[in-house]
A and B are shown apart, each in its own frame.
Chain A
Amino acid sequence: MSNLFAELSKTVIEGNLDEIVQLTQDALDDGLSAKEILDKGLMPGMDHVGVEFKAGNMFVPEVLRSARAMQSSMVLIKPLLAETGADMTGKVLIGTVKGDLHDIGKNLVGMMCEGAGFEVIDMGKDIEPQDFVDAVKEHEPHILGMSALLTTTMRSMEHTVKALEEAGVRDKVKIMIGGAPVTQAFSDQIGADGYASNAASASELAKKFMG
């Protein structure tokens, strides 16, 4: 049994798209639950990827492959998770702010959060403050993550925080921000809850928010 978990983790780490679906099916056929497959197989794999990425030992294309492998496995187990009502770690809403089309970092954050067991709603890029507010109201996420790569667009994060305050939903979410020009000082200044300098740190921060 435990062997299958280790193999699932390894397959995620290697980003082996050819094997992961069969391996997931084998695990289910062996009577392992979807929740176990996620918690003991996929998540430790993505966790390892996060650590290695942060340390500079793995690179963006490898993270993308690992995330894709994990997603292929999730296609099989997600319906089962929903059926059994198994709890996800939490819900994260992410997007790149208005005027900014850079989404690689944001996509990585989404993947790492999924890898950490979060349900991730990705709004895409060039997102207006009001659209973030509407999405927070609609999806009621635990965490809102915003990304900006330009010094000229990072102000939109501040506008979004203000818009959330004005809409009376600021306290419903933890806000984390990131992107090349963003700093912890900027996060403090605009009243966000935290800053992460890379995708692995972002998923750690998200986990910390969930307690």
Chain B
Amino acid sequence: MAKNLTTVVSSKIQTVEINRGNPTVIIGERINPTGRKLMLKALQAGDFDIVRSDAVKQVEAGAKILDVNAGVPGADEPALLKQVLTTVMDVVDVPLCIDTADPEALEAALSMYEGKALINSVNGEERSLGAVMPLVKEYGAAVIGLCMDDDGIPATPDDRLKVAGNIIERAGKMGIPVEDIVIDPLALTMGSDHTSGLIAMQAIEKIIAEFGVNITMGASNISFGMPDRKFINSTFIAMAIHAGLTCPITNPLEPEVSIAVKAADLSMGRDEYGMIWIQAYRARQKEQEEN
């Protein structure tokens, strides 16, 4: 069993430590125009109001890190990503997760970011490793490594472990510490394969036993194509936290998910005297009274 590692990310004034002994760190997923037609339209029009309000709302709802994606078709992504990052940094203090597939945009973002960013993401493909890892090293960032490579997404937990190992080894050779690699074992939807959730959780268990790294996951995709998704999402996220998930990328504005994460943290003995749980209860009560 490998020792549990601590991944540190920071903004100019806030530091977040991700570790299996600490409460789960929610990375807010909302600042992303993919599949959000309103935000896409706003960004295309140079309107950042939705970005601002989404940033504030997610942090209020308990997100400790915010994912920032500015993938707008046809836009100058390096310039737009910088604008969106500036907008977010103006209204919240949390560390940011820079989410782009474009190495140029990534470098532009890293060069202006103050603190230690989390990069989303690198994967086991040669092209991706070659483009992203040097930037991780140069800017001293942390990075999310996706368990897929030139052959696609491996079907078995063992093969996903292998891809995680390759990414970690490559980072090590470049002098990037293993604790700066956060692995995403990939949760595919159970809508098309009912074993996807189980495979993801088995992959988590194997990866943390071998490397002790922190684990992230886009935890909303798991229920695509199913009815009553919020119940699946909230149960799955709690189970995945038990398996070893430490920093899910998800929507903190979905109350079921936020509540499930806190209940899971309490159940895992990470919420001393249940104070986080009780405070969240009072906040919900207050909100109900006000409405």
Q: CB within 8 Å of B: which residues of A?
A: 56, 59-61, 64, 99, 101, 104, 107, 149-152, 154-155, 180-181, 183, 186
Contacts and interface: CB of A to CB of B under 8 A. Distances in A.
Contacts of B15: none
A104 B192 contact: yes
A163 B110 CA distance: 35
B195 to A, nearest CB: 12
Contacts of A56: 227
B73 A155 contact: yes
B175 interface: no
Contacts of B189: 60, 104
Contacts of B194: 61
A59 to B, nearest CB: 6
B71 to A, nearest CB: 4
A181 B191 contact: no
A151 B34 contact: yes
Interface string B59-96: 00000000000011110010000000000000000000
B225 A59 contact: yes
Q: Which applies to chain A's interface (DSSP): helix, strand, loop or mixed?
A: loop
Nearest to B101: A152
Given A59-B225, A101-B153, A181-B37, 12 more contacts: A56-B227, A59-B191, A60-B226, A61-B192, A64-B192, A104-B192, A150-B34, A152-B102, A155-B73, A155-B74, A181-B33, A186-B73
Contacts of A186: 73
Nearest to A186: B73
A152 B225 contact: no
Given A59-B191, A61-B191, A64-B192, A151 B226 contact: no
B40 interface: yes
Given A60-B191, A101-B148, A181 B224 contact: no
Interface in B19-34: 33-34
Contact of B37 (A101, A104, A183): A183
Interface residue tally on B, bucketed by range:
20 to 34
A181 B37 CA distance: 7
Contact of B226 (A59, A107, A149, A150): A59
Contact of A151 (B40, B192, B224, B227): B40
A151 B225 contact: no
A66 to B, nearest CB: 13
B109 to A, nearest CB: 15
Nearest to B70: A151
A149 B34 contact: yes
Interface string B32-49: 011101001000000000
A9 B223 CA distance: 28
Contacts of A99: 101
Contact of B35 (A64, A101, A104, A180): A180
A64 B225 CA distance: 11
Contacts of A154: 73
Contacts of B40: 151, 181
A152 B226 contact: no
Contact of A104 (B72, B152, B191): B191
Nearest to B37: A183
A183 B33 CA distance: 13
A181 B192 contact: no
B83 to A, nearest CB: 16
A151 B191 contact: no
A29 B118 CA distance: 64
Contacts of B72: 151
A104 B33 CA distance: 20
Contacts of B77: 152
B192 A150 contact: no
A160 to B, nearest CB: 14
Nearest to B43: A151
B35 A181 contact: yes
A181 B71 CA distance: 11
B153 A181 contact: no
B272 to A, nearest CB: 41
A194 to B, nearest CB: 18
A64 B224 CA distance: 13
B225 A101 contact: no
Nearest to B32: A151
A148 to B, nearest CB: 9
Nearest to B194: A61
Contact of A152 (B35, B71, B153, B192): B71
B140 to A, nearest CB: 26
